[in-house]
A and B are shown apart, each in its own frame.
Chain A
Amino acid sequence: MKAAILTDTTKCNNCHECVVACKKQNQLPVDLPRRWDLDDGLSAKNWTSVVEGPQHAFARKQCRHCLEPACASACPVGALHQTKLGAVVYEGSKCMGCRYCMMACPYGIPRYEWQAAVPYVRKCIFCYDRIAAGRQPACTEACPTKATIFGDRDQLLAEAHDRIAKDPGKYVNKVWGEFDAGGTSVLYISNVDLSFLSAGHVVGPKPLPATTATAMEAVPFAFTGVMACMAGLSWIIERRMRIEKDTSGKDESHE
């Protein structure tokens, strides 16, 4: 099973129960506005938020838990990794604070504890201990309108397509997260375009780890290749110089 969340923005009425439930579940302290906050409501102390888009569409912003997470591929020490259920989780004890995950995330989800002298990266962790125990995440459990629901990814995808097929006039014919960035565990259906959730750009279907993979796969070959090249060049040039020296020496002796 691949755990997934389906959020239907047409059902969300902006009640923020999910936000409150998330705070309670993860024991997050009171959030205060900071210079470094973006105005999407997410912060190191707020892992999910409800963002208002065009036409009063409310969409819950949270980590998408990509099937091929860019953050996990970027992290040099493997502090972020994907669990079997699909949750992308963070191990603070490994982190060294380079913030490459924040740069790599196509949705700009991970947040940093800028105010702390010992800062960590913070983001939604899909309540992985709850889903591992067979329960659903706190946010989906709290949702009173069932705008955001938890389930198996394939089933939720089918459900999403079903809903769109039943009411094609209402929904945009796209399930956000089905293919975006190689597919994500958090899916959205909506009556408006949801690119406001990803800073205005449309995330393409290409998995982001693949972009660096080509370069990284070439590393061992490039390394040995360059070294072999240099060693070879050095040997050839040295040999030529030696021969030149020898022959010129002989010529002198002949004369």
Chain B
Amino acid sequence: MNRVRRLKLALWTLVGLAASVAAARFLFGLGASTNLTDANPWGVWVGFDVMGGVALAAGGFIVTATVYIFKLERFHAIVRPAVLTAFLGYLAVAIGLLFDLGLPWNIWHMIVYWNPRSPLFEVGWCVMLYLTVLALEFFPVPAEEFPRLAKIRATLVKARLPLVIVGIGLSSLHQSSLGSLFLIMPYRLHPLWYSPILPVMFLISAIGLGLSMVIFESHLTAYLYHRKPETDLLASFANACRWVLTIYVIVRIADLIIRRQAAQLFVADWRPGLFWFEVMVMALIPIALFSASRVRHSRAGQWTAATFAVCGIVLNRIDVGGVAHPRPDGAFYLPSWTEIAISVGVVSAAVLAFLFMIEHFKVWEERPADPNADPLKLPEFDPVGATWLGVPGIAARTTYSLAFILAAAVGFGFLKVEPAESRGIDATPVQRARGGEVLWIDGNLDGFGVAFKHVEHEKREGGKESCVKCHHMNLPRDEGSACARCHRDMYLPVDAFRHDWHASPSGARVACYQCHATGQVRTAESAVRCDKCHKNLVPTGASITVKHNQAVAYTEAMHRLCIGCHVKKAQEKSKPEMTRCDWCHKDRREVIDSRELVLRRAGLTGQNVVLPTPEARK
């Protein structure tokens, strides 16, 4: 197998994998197929596919400007591949965007419903228009093969200069507007990345990326098809790239200093580290490499430096797009494998389309020989499947299809998706109670342990079906309900009885069994009466009955005294407002300010409820 076939096989595999994820994305939604959250609504599909993709395709306007505006005719040989890359790059951006949009079938709304204040509106329009311009710029190349299209082709060739000028205008607009997108997020984007001149920095780095992408791509295709790369021609691009990146670094650092954020560079955090890594890879290393004349004119040197710049600037876009966004809870976004599979798959499809175009149309001066078109080669026989694979061209396609289908199948196998509208208990792990019938758990979620009879509770609540009664998990990170959720009286707002205080080692230090006899269900009903310890708790003649062995709280008692009459009188006098809280609680602050309330309550001993005095407790 030659280099091209190996690469195509790998690409088809990746596209197959992406196809399976794509199915999951559109059937089950974004939640099932991405790691995006309400805190990080944008992820790698925006950072890489859209922002990285647009920046990667910047080579188109750089090269057309060089050749058609600055009339540097010696660069003519690389115009066609550069325009093709740009066209396919923007197509990939548009397709990648379809995955990211929640409602991709509404993408045309941008044409109908306008909001010119939105930078995204402008980016969208520019990408649409520029895609059209690129299609028109590139159309003459495939049209060469079809004599019928000669007339249209001639018109387009005549209109080339205006097209190029419009293309440059659109490119410089939206390359910078991708930076403007983030101007509205001063609180979201980290200060090392947020800057009022973000659009300018995006434009400069896009030019740098365009230049290095032309170098990278020329070397890649030269390697694949065993051609001689235009190393001398590319050396001038490398030189330009060096200066552009130098300007970029100066602007970026100067901006930090002017904004007085330079101190952020030395904060002990992972973000300054990321910043340094990014600047290093995208600018400092390529500048250093390109500065050496020998490296600049060597094939390996050009390729290495360009790869650094390309990776670094794409990393910058990904960082701005989602990674460098501090989250309130400190966690940060990492893409899921499905997101990466889609991103890689879209790029792979674009590369396959590129290879198809250069093999079938005159993108280069001479079309590369079809690697499969070896006239002397016999049809292949597959010893494993005992089948004839046909002539080499067909055999290659069979292999690609097989790779695609297998990858898609493997992808489906690894997909873990839930139906779109499931019951949705997905975040909290459910573990079966292990280790016998009594569990030592933090039952009241207060940091104190309690011996919990799990089996007994399960039986009493209705067997296996009863799990959801406690493990209902309707609160974030709620693995099991606190005991007090069912045993409501434990935390009733009572003045006289505080369960916590009684059980606490710093309080009354009463062990469970001292009130709740062992072997019984431990509820208020089965507990011993308060007056076992607290003698004369309820004096004779008190009108409040102590229910369930528990003193009724003052507020409870008072409410019960008043509310019954209020309800009755409200009906009699047809004054429903009489039942409202503020009928009595005229001054709200009395009710709300608990300190005042406590003081007032303390002064009420001896009227209806006898509150245990500290002496009585002892």
B464 → chain A closest CB, angstroms: 21
CB of B158, distance to nearest CB on chain A (Å): 15
When distances are taken between beta carbons in the complex, the residues of chain A under 8 Å from B251 are none
Which residues of chain A in 131-167 are interfacial with respect to chain B, using CB atoms and an 8 Å cutoff? 144-146
Task: Tell whether B116 is near chain A: CB-to-CB under 8 Å.
Answer: yes
**Docked complex: B84-111 residues within 8 A CB-CB of A:** 100-104, 106-107, 109-110
* Residues of the B chain whose Cβ atoms lie less than 8 Å from the Cβ of A113: 29, 102
Across the two chains, which residue of chain A brings its CB closest to B39?
A38
Asked if A35 and B425 make an inter-chain contact with CB atoms under 8 angstroms apart, the answer reads: no
Q: Kindly provide the distance from the CB of B442 to the nearest chain A CB, expressed in whole angstroms.
A: 19
Q: Judging by beta carbons under 8 Å apart, are B183 and A96 in contact?
A: no
Interface contact tally, CB-CB below 8 A: 241
Interface centre among A37, A114, A203 (most CB of B within 10 A): A114
Chain A residues 185-222 with CB under 8 Å of chain B are 198-201, 203-204, 208-209, 211-216, 219, 222
| A97 engages B118 (CB within 8 Å) | no
Pick the interface stretch among A19-27, A117-125, A171-179, A246-254.
A117-125
Closest to A227 in B: B169
Kindly name the residue among B36, B38, B476, B582 whose own CB sees the greatest number of chain A CB atoms within 10 A.
B38
Residues of A near B184 (CB, < 8 A) are 70, 73-74, 103-104, 208-209, 211-212
Q: Point out the residues of chain A lying under 8 angstroms from B418, CB to CB.
A: 115
Nearest Cβ distance between residue A17 and chain B, in whole angstroms?
A: 11
User: Using an 8 Å CB-CB cutoff, how does the interface string of B383-427 with A read, 1 for contact, 0 for none?
Assistant: 000000000000000000000000000000000001011111111
Query: Contacting B421 at CB < 8 Å: which of A31, A116, A233?
Result: A116
The reply to whether A99 and B582 contact each other, CB–CB distance below 8 Å, is no
CB atoms of A145 and B117 under 8 A apart: no
Candidates B29, B100, B173; contact of A223 at CB < 8 Å: B173
Complex contact A100–B168 (CB within 8 A): no
Q: Encode A9-35 as 1/0 by CB contact (under 8 A) with B.
A: 011010000000000000000011111
B214, chain A: closest CB distance, angstroms: 19
Residues in chain A near residue B432, CB distance under 8 A: none
Q: Do the beta carbons of A119 and B118 come within 8 Å of each other?
A: no
A98 to B124, CA, bound (A): 11
* A76 in contact with B124 given A96-B110, A114-B36, A227-B165 (CB within 8 Å): yes
Contact in complex: B102, A119 (CB < 8 Å):
yes
Cα distance A233–B118 in the bound complex, in angstroms:
31
The distance in angstroms between the C-alpha atoms of A102 and B42, with both chains bound, is 9
Name the residue on A nearest B585 (C-beta). A145
B26 touches A222 (CB 8 A): no
Contact (Cβ within 8 A) A216 B172:
no
Q: Is B29 a contact of A114 with CB atoms below 8 Å?
A: yes
Q: Does B270 contact A (CB under 8 A)?
A: no
Set of chain A residues within 8 Å of B124, measured between Cβ atoms: 76
Residues in A neighbouring B580, C-beta threshold 8 A: 144
Question: Are A112 and B102 neighbours in the complex by a CB distance under 8 Å?
Answer: yes
CB atoms of B122 and A216 under 8 A apart: yes
Given A74-B118, A115-B421, A119-B29, also A99-B102 (CB < 8 A):
yes
CA distance A222 to B203 in the complex (A): 12
- Which residues of A are found within 8 Å of B31, using beta-carbon distances? 34-36, 114-116
Find chain B residues with CB under 8 A from A234 CB.
68-69, 71, 161, 165
In contact, B37 and A145 (Cβ under 8 angstroms): no
Contact A39 B101 (CB under 8 A): no
The listed residue (B41, B180, B474) touching A212 by CB distance below 8 A is B180
Interface residue count on the A side (C-beta < 8 Å):
74
Does chain A have a CB within 8 A of B121? yes
Q: Is the CB of A237 within 8 A of B177?
A: no
Query: Is the beta-carbon distance between B114 and A78 smaller than 8 angstroms?
Result: yes
A36→B427 CA distance, assembly (Å): 9
Tell me, in angstroms, the Cα distance from A168 to B270 when the chains sit together: 42
Check A33 against B169 for contact (C-beta < 8 Å): no
CA–CA, A81 and B86, complex, Å: 36
Q: Does A243 contact B (CB under 8 A)?
A: no
Q: Enumerate chain B residues within 8 angstroms of A35, measured Cβ to Cβ.
A: 31, 37, 426-427
Q: Among the listed A103, A117, A214, which residue makes an inter-chain contact with B188, where contact means beta carbons less than 8 Å apart?
A: A103
- Chain B positions within 8 Å of A145 at CB level: 581, 588, 591-592
B514 close to chain A: CB less than 8 A: no
Contacts of B169 in A (CB 8 A): 223-224, 226-227, 230
Give Cα A149–Cα B589 distance, bound, in whole angstroms: 16
* In the complex, B478 has a CB within 8 A of chain A: yes
User: Do A75 and B38 contact each other (CB < 8 Å), given the known contacts A32-B423, A119-B102, A234-B69?
Assistant: no
Residue-wise interface mask of A (69-86) relative to B, using a CB-CB cutoff of 8 A (1 in contact, 0 not) = 010011111110000000
B143 within 8 A of A: no
A96 near B104 (CB under 8 angstroms)? yes
Given A11, A203, A211, A223, which contacts B588 in the complex, CB threshold below 8 Å?
A: A11
Are A78 and B115 closer than 8 Å at their CB atoms? yes
Q: Which residues of B contact A200 (CB under 8 A)?
A: 328
A73→B100 CA distance, assembly (Å): 21
Q: Are B120 and A98 in contact (CB under 8 A)?
A: yes
Residues of B within 8 A of A120 (CB): 102-103
- CB pair B115–A117 under 8 Å, yes or no, is no
Once bound together, how far apart are the Cα atoms of A111 and B38, in whole Å? 6
Would you give the 0/1 interface string for B31-47, flagging 1 where the beta carbon is closer than 8 Å to chain A? Answer: 11000111101100000
User: Shortest beta-carbon distance, B195 to chain A, in Å?
Assistant: 11
User: B115 touching A75 by the CB < 8 A rule?
Assistant: yes
Q: Is B269 an interface residue (CB 8 A)?
A: no
Q: In whole angstroms, how far apart are the Cα atoms of A39 and B331 in the complex?
A: 12
The docked-state distance in angstroms from the alpha carbon of A230 to that of B168 is 8
Which of A13, A38, A100 is B37 in contact with, Cβ under 8 Å?
Answer: A38
Pick the residue among B109, B114, B172, B588 that contacts A226 (CB under 8 A): B172
Inter-chain contacts of B602 with A (CB < 8 A): none
Q: Which of A76, A100, A114, A241 has the most CB of B within 10 A?
A: A76
Chain B interface residues (CB < 8 Å from chain A): 26-32, 36-39, 41-42, 65, 68-71, 100-104, 106-107, 109-110, 113-122, 124, 161, 164-166, 168-170, 172-173, 176-177, 180-181, 183-188, 196, 199, 327-329, 418, 420-428, 473-478, 580-582, 588-589, 591-592
A-B contact pairs, 5 of them (CB 8 A): A34-B31, A37-B38, A112-B38, A216-B117, A216-B180
**10 additional A-B residue pairs with CB within 8 Å, beyond A96-B101, A112-B30:** A76-B110, A96-B102, A103-B184, A115-B29, A116-B31, A145-B588, A211-B183, A219-B177, A230-B69, A234-B68
